[in-house]
Amino acid sequence: MVSVTFDDGWTSQYDNALPILNKYGIPATWYIISGSVNDAPPYMTKDQIQAFANRGDQIASHTVTHADLTTLTPAQVTTELSQSQTTLRQQFGASAAVDFATPYGASNATTTAEAKKYYATQRNTDEGFNSRTGFDPYNLLVQNVVSTTTTETVQGWINEAKTNGTWLILVYHEIGANVGEDIYHTDTAALDAHMAAVKNSGLAMKTVRQGAAAYGSGTPTPPAPPTTPDAAMTAINVVAAANPKLGAPTGSMVCGLINGGCYRNYVAGAILWSKATGAHYTMGAIRQTWAGTGYERGRLGYPITDEIGGLINGGVYQMYQGGAINWSAASGAHYTLGAIRQTWAGTGFERGRLGYPTSNEIGGLINGGVYQMYQGGAINWSAASGAHYTLGAIRQTWAGTGFERGRLGYPVSNEYAVAGGVAQDFQGGRISWSAGRGAVVTYK
What is the dotted CATH code of the domain comprising 2-214? 3.20.20.370
pLDDT at 257: 86
Peptide bond into 42 cis (omega under 30): yes
Positive or negative, the Cα torsion across 187, 193, 196, 198? negative
Cross-strand bridge partners of residue 417 = 422
pLDDT at 226: 53
Distance CA 417, CA 347 (A): 15
pLDDT at 406: 97
Instruction: Give the residues of the chain that fall short of pLDDT 50.
Output: none
- On whether the CB atoms of residues 385 and 427 are closer than 8 A, the answer is yes
Spatial CB neighbours of 237, under 8 Å, sequence gap ≥ 6? none
pLDDT at 180: 60
- On whether the CB atoms of residues 166 and 131 are closer than 8 A, the answer is yes
**Helical residues (DSSP H) of 165-305, grouped into ranges:** 188-199, 208-214, 230-242, 284-292
pLDDT at 221: 66
Residue type for position 14: Y
pLDDT at 254: 84
Q: Where in the chain is the domain with CATH 3.20.20.370?
A: 2-214
* Buried b or exposed e, range 326-352, using 16+ CB within 10 angstroms: bbbeebbbbbbbeebbebbeebebbee
pLDDT at 220: 67
pLDDT at 251: 82
Describe the strand order of the beta sheet including 323-328 as a list of residue ranges: 316-320, 323-328, 332-337
pLDDT at 42: 86
